[in-house]
Amino acid sequence: MLVKARTIKESLCDCGFPILSENVPLGTVYKVETDSVAKGTLICGGCKKHISIRTVWASGGITYSEGIMPLELFEFDEGAA
């Protein structure tokens, strides 16, 4: 199912290293495919810590790009996922 979601976090690591580009403001809306949720591992670009995450296919945003993103970055408008 495709639902709208907005970004609510810039980082998933305790060190605070951002995942999103600095030109992507919090609150940016994406279309997220909730049927695409999968397990993944993120390696922090700051401290190199390995973080277990759930991934999801997302498209849109300010650049209208698409790809796999951490599910934990999003808040869902429709309460899905």
Q: What is the pTM of this model?
A: 0.84
For residue 67, pLDDT over 70 is answered with: yes
Q: Tell me: the pLDDT tens digits for 44-65?
A: 999 999 999 999 999 988 778 8
Instruction: Look up residue 26 and give its DSSP letter.
Output: T
Instruction: Provide mean pLDDT across the span 11-26.
Output: 92
pLDDT of residue 78: 56
Strands across the sheet containing 74-76: 65-70, 50-60, 29-43, 2-7, 74-76
Interval 19-40: pLDDT, tens: 988 888 999 999 999 999 999 9
Give the span between the Cα atoms of 39 and 54, in whole angstroms.
5
**Cα–Cα–Cα angle for 55, 57, 63, nearest 5°?**
120
Tell me the percentage of the chain whose pLDDT exceeds 90. Answer: 75
Quick check: 51 and 20 in contact, CB under 8 A?
no
